[in-house]
Structure 1
């Protein structure tokens, strides 16, 4: 049991991280956005994230992020040791990551309409109609069009990929230390029961 504890903890951490961790902010009354602002914000979102291409845009951002996370995890020294101890563990770990990546993509696809509406409402609270019109005009310019076409693929940039891998490697090192401390704590409580 104790040998598998690090993998169980890792699985729990990955599940929460890769499945789009949700904030647990307290529920507060939120002012309803002005109807004209909301209509304008919805038009803006339709312009910058056309409904026909939304899923592809989101997936083009998510795919490199997931690949970078996977690579960073696979470079973790502690995980490599654990996987080398049991040759079947690598296949199980790969299946786990595949499942989490597929689940994350499915959750994003299913949640996309709600995300777009939430974004429209957020824009409507922060910008008035004139400001939203200015933003729409920018996105109608050649520079705005170029930004829209490439902004979601920014996550695939080599510098961002390297940063994500480094971040994941650092997080894995810290998590391994935390898992080791937790394992010691659990062992101590089990020794106390004897």
Structure 2
């Protein structure tokens, strides 16, 4: 793993949601690197940054829509002042960084150690030896093996932490003020003026002062984290046990309609609501219907060919034929821009992708049928 990727992963861990109870905002979609662009150019960086900013703005807009505060009554200034005093005590400067140290200090080092090549999985990937075999080795031996691949891995981990730490500290400092402001408004709405005064009186005492300095960090205390993690398996088991019933309950509702299911009358109503020409919707519907029919025919054709040959041979042949066809297509279009899918119309691209998917599904279905036939034969044959 490259140093940059490891740093990025470590930074992601550090800036993850700070409490288990926090409401998660939608994650902005990662902007994929343009394979044709120069990732080191200023223009590329500016474009990527603009795309990411757009995604973040959309995510923020969605959160603002989910938690709309525009209809809330104004906050009494005197009460807000008391709440700001409360938050000044509960979220003092540096409190988020203290929590991060408590929660992620060991975690980051552990993650970097795993990614650095000492884990069973990473050593298995690097050497090709089964992870079960590597698991039999003691810790010093695994460390020696990892050092053979990267004699500087410890220094590399320390370097990542050294480079990341100032950035994380700066980011957390930037987060503290808006967090204090938001919490102050929430407290001002939830607590009365006398209640806020009582809170501030308590926080000014020696006990209150200690509580204020530790309450946030304690949420990420190792004992709390371990207890929460130990509570997860029963929760997962509960969902697994109830899986069949949940699946049954979810199937009781009819499936969502697709555009291909709409009648002309329904399309007319939809077009009126959307204020578009009904022909636009009809063309789209007919295109989807055509693609569905072609995909079904392609799947039937591939499946039918399986009846003419042994299932094993046919499955391999079908997969090889599809691969060969794609390879031939790539070779033929190496110098012809007409083969570049980015130059195709949306309708053509959707139709080709639908047929490609149908062909792949047919090959997978044939393979599944082969293994099922083998298992059925084994049950019938004498031991």
TM range, normalised to the smaller chain? 0.5 to 0.7
CA contact (8 A) 1:68 1:161 kept: no
Deviates more, 1:71-80 or 1:134-143: 71-80
Structure with max Cα Rg: 2
CA drift at 1:73: 1.3
Aligned residues: 162
Shift of the alpha carbon at 1:133? 1.5
Instruction: Give 1:97 shift.
Output: 4.0
Cα distance in 2, alignment partners of residues 121 and 79 from structure 1: 48
- Residue in structure 1 matching 2:150, options 73, 84, 87: 87
Distance 1:86 1:73 in 2: 18
Q: Does 1:71 align with 2:109?
A: yes
- Rounded to whole Å, the distance in 2 between the matches of 1:163 and 1:71 is 21
Pick the structure with more helix per residue: 1
Residue aligning to 1:173 = none
Deviation at 1:154, TM superposition (A): 3.5
Evaluate the alpha carbon distance shift between residue 101 and residue 155 of structure 1 in structure 2; reply closer, same or farther with a 3 A threshold: farther
Instruction: List runs of 5+ in structure 1 lacking aligned partners.
Output: 168-190
Q: Deviations over 1:4-47 (max 9, x none)?
A: 59x95x66544333234572353233134332321110121234
Query: Quick one: structure 1 residues 149 and 96, their matched pair in 2 at CA, closer, same or farther if it must change by over 3 Å?
Result: closer
Structure 1 equivalent of residue 291 of structure 2:
none
Deviations 1:76-98 (CA, angstroms, capped at 9, x unpaired): 42575379273067244543344
Deviations, residues 111-160 of structure 1 (Å, cap 9, x unaligned): 32222212211212222212211211222334313323443553785635
| Structure 1 residue aligned with 2:190 | 126
The one of 95, 113, 129 equivalent to 2:177 is: 113
Give the whole-Å Cα distance in 2 for the aligned partners of 1:47 and 1:12.
33
Whole-Å Cα distance in 2 between the matches of residues 126 and 74 of structure 1? 42
Unaligned runs of 5+ in 2: 18-23, 27-61, 127-145, 231-321, 328-383
Please name the residue that 1:33 is paired with. 75
Is the partner of 2:181 in helix, strand or coil? Answer: helix
1:45 matched to 2:87: yes
For the aligned residues, what is the CA RMSD? 3.9
Question: Following superposition of structure 1 onto structure 2, how do residues 98-109 of structure 1 map, counting pairs within 5 Å?
Answer: 98-109=162-173
Aligned mates of 2:170, 2:207 — CA distance in 1: 32
